[in-house]
Amino acid sequence: MSTAHQRRSGLRRAGTRIRKVVAAVAVGAVTAGGLVAAAGTASAQTTLGDAAAAQGRYFGTAVAVDRLGEPDYTATLNREFNSITAENSWKWESLQPSPGYFDFSTADRIAEHARQQGMELRGHTLVWHSQLPSWVENIGSADELRAVMRNHITTVMEHYKGQVRSWDVVNEAFEDGSSGARRNSVFQRVLGDSWIEEAFYIAHEVDPDATLCYNDYNTDAWNTAKTQAVYNMVADFVSRGVPIDCVGFQAHFNSGNPVPENYHITLQNFADLGVEVQLTELDIAGSGASQAEQYAGVTLACLAVPQCTGITVWGVTDKYSWRAEDTPLLFDGNYNPKQAYYAVLETLGGSGGGGGGDGACTVTYEETERWGDRFNGRVTVRAGDEAISSWSTTVTVHPPQRISATWNGEASWDTSGNVMTMRSNSGLPAGGQTSFGFTVMANGNWTAPILGSCVAS
């Protein structure tokens, strides 16, 4: 069989071990409110990607090409994640805006970044009713639409053949609500129900080694009509040998689609059909401890299912989220790790994190005050599981910014004057925290400073 199949078998074996570990910390408690984190160890991983890898999984994010020029964005991306999904640039309207005219120039920057950083790629998405150019929407002939769908899938998959671990072959083909019906897209209208399996057959022909996914949202709660409809389709595909390898759960959560109490049951039921499951676009509206507990619950649900091979969050920072007003991601607008970040990291068995250097302490930044010409920043220093007797970290400002005052630490500067090292010999107890502050003269640049690693002794 295909490499995808062999890879799935391997993951199943790895998953057996994971299941035991998770069982030891009470799988029964996977609920939105029931945070159960694996205990950190001395050698625990300090990034999401490394911690997930230690559990035999990937941890990815959606990436917007335009943001790659922002140093904090790229630093956070490169440090924390080991898989990338293009947020928009691999969609049909971007890749084939007019008939037969393919433009991979922007899309290739995503692939190039992944290659340089040794990250995996998720291909999103081949056939979808949205972000679809109007020339496709207007096709009325079945023969023509079938040929166009074949050409698009073939050209895009050939271009990235060997580089993409999983493809979202078909995205969002079902209606919301209680009908369980197929969505009324041009593909559905013109080709009828068979269009979905036709897409999978074409994709399998082009790249038999890729993991081929059906991807959708609002499919998290087991008993809803939409979840059941997708499940029945996948069960039917598997029983008839349609080449589907995986189901992607977008996992966009908010008050209208809350994290279900028994999310792992939904994931396991799908996995029991013989497919891999992946959380492909995770974001959870909210903040603070409540958001953190929900993120931990979702992470634990994936860990509880051996065939759940990875999690992708739908963006790096709240400020660029497609739902920015929901602050649904793991890093705030200044790239500070949020409580949700620590909850995910710890659930994956990691500790420290957030860019913290030796794991013995971590630092986070927030802007506390702003005037017409300057702002105050505060850095919170937290000790890990053990007491520390001193700590230091760096704060790098963006010229022509200048730091004009500091408090609660001993500051020194490099020769450029842009990098301040702050240290203190006042120790911290295990889990303890302190903070230092500074004033930045903006001189026209209001970008948040970049924090270095926290180093303790």
Closest separation between CB of residue 91 and ligand XIL, Å? 7
Spatial distance between the Cα atoms of 28 and 36, rounded to a whole number of angstroms = 10
Residues 255-274, interacting with ligand XIL (CB under 6 A): none
Assess 250 for contact with ligand XIL (CB under 6 A). yes
By beta-carbon proximity to ligand XIL, the closer residue of 323 and 402 is 323
88 binds ligand XIL (CB under 6 A): yes
Q: Which two tokens stand for residue 387?
A: 């007491």
Q: What is the CA radius of gyration of the chain?
A: 23
Phi, psi of 57 (to 5 degrees): -125, 165
Answer yes or no whether residue 278 interacts with ligand XIL by CB under 6 A. Answer: no
Considering beta carbons, is residue 196 or 422 the nearer one to ligand XIL?
196
Q: Is 179 in a helix, a strand, or coil?
A: coil
318 near ligand XIL, rule: CB under 6 A: no
* CB closer to ligand XIL out of 88 and 418: 88
| Cβ distance to ligand XIL smaller for residue 128 or 438 | 128
Residue with tokens 């008050």: 255
Of 172, 198, 276, 346, the catalytic one is: 172
Between 131 and 412, whose beta carbon lies closer to ligand XIL? 131
Contact 205, 153 (CB under 8 A): no
Closest CB to ligand XIL among 168 and 346? Answer: 168
- Looking up tokens 């080449």 gives 243
CA–CA dist 455, 457 (Å, integer) = 7
Alpha-carbon dihedral 333, 57, 66, 339, rounded to 10 degrees = 0
Q: How far is the CB of 127 from ligand XIL (least distance, A)?
A: 12
Cα of first residue to Cα of last residue in the chain, in angstroms, is 53
Judged by beta carbon, residue 64 or residue 225, the one nearer ligand XIL is 64
Distance in Å, CB of 87 to ligand XIL, minimum:
5
Do you find a cis peptide bond into 394, omega within 30 degrees of 0?
A: no
Residues in region 281-300 near ligand XIL by CB under 6 A: 281
User: Residue for token digits 């704060």?
Assistant: 395
Taking CB positions, which residue lies at the least distance from ligand XIL?
Answer: 322
Nearer to ligand XIL among residue 69 and residue 118 (C-beta): 69
State the binding string over 128-167 for ligand XIL (x if CB under 6 A, else -). ----------------------------------------
- Tokens representing 138 are 């207007």
- Nearest-approach distance from CB 199 to ligand XIL, in angstroms: 15
CB 245 within 8 A of CB 4: yes
Binding flag, residue 185, ligand XIL (CB under 6 A):
no
The answer to whether 322 contacts ligand XIL (rule: CB under 6 A) is: yes
CA distance 67 to 93: 20
Amino acid at 221: A
- Residue 64 C-beta: closest distance to ligand XIL, Å: 7
CA gap 298, 304 in Å, rounded = 10
Asked if 87 interacts with ligand XIL (CB under 6 A), we say yes
E strand or H helix at 174, and its extent?
A: none
Q: Of 120, 276, 281, 293, which is the active-site residue?
A: 281
Q: How many residues bind ligand XIL (CB under 6 A)?
A: 6
Smallest separation (angstroms) from ligand XIL to the CB of 319: 13
- Taking CB under 6 A as the rule, does residue 94 contact ligand XIL? no
Report the alpha-carbon distance of residue 198 to residue 200 in Å, rounded: 5
For residue 280, the minimal CB distance to ligand XIL (Å) is 8
User: Which 3 state secondary structure label does DSSP give 322?
Assistant: coil
What lies within 8 Å, CB to CB, of 369 at 6+ separation is 375, 376
Q: Is 281 a catalytic residue?
A: yes
By CB atoms closer than 10 A (0-12, 13-18, 19+), residue 192 is exposed
Q: Does 351 bind ligand XIL (CB under 6 A)?
A: no
Any contact of residue 183 with ligand XIL (CB under 6 A)?
Answer: no
| Catalytic (active site) residue 172 | yes
Q: Are strands 455-456 and 419-424 parallel, antiparallel or unpaired?
A: unpaired
Task: Select from 76, 171, 219, 257 the one that contacts ligand XIL (CB under 6 A).
Answer: 171
Q: Residue 324 CB, nearest distance to ligand XIL (Å)?
A: 11
Among residue numbers 369 through 408, which ones bind ligand XIL (CB under 6 A)?
Answer: none
Q: E strands along 351-443, which residues?
A: 361-370, 374-383, 391-396, 402-407, 410-413, 419-424, 433-441
Contact residues toward ligand XIL (CB under 6 A) are: 87-88, 171, 250, 281, 322
Residues labelled as active-site residues: 172, 281
